[in-house]
A and B are shown apart, each in its own frame.
Chain A
Amino acid sequence: TQLLEQSPQFLSIQEGENLTVYCNSSSVFSSLQWYRQEPGEGPVLLVTVVTGGEVKKLKRLTFQFGDARKDSSLHITAAQPGDTGLYLCAGAWSARQLTFGSGTQLTVLP
Chain B
Amino acid sequence: ETGVTQTPRHLVMGMTNKKSLKCEQHLGHNAMYWYKQSAKKPLELMFVYNFKEQTENNSVPSRFSPECPNSSHLFLHLHTLQPEDSALYLCASSQVSDMGEQYFGPGTRLTVT
Contacts and interface: CB of A to CB of B under 8 A. Distances in A.
Main DSSP-derived SS at the B contact region = loop
Contacts, number: 54
Contacts of A97: 45, 56, 99
Interface residues of A, number: 24
B42 A99 contact: yes
B90 to A, nearest CB: 5
Nearest to A38: B106
A102 B4 contact: no
B98 to A, nearest CB: 5
Given A42-B92, A44-B104, A96-B56, A102 B1 contact: no
A42 B41 contact: no
B49 interface: no
A42 B90 contact: yes
Contact of A45 (B55, B97, B102): B102
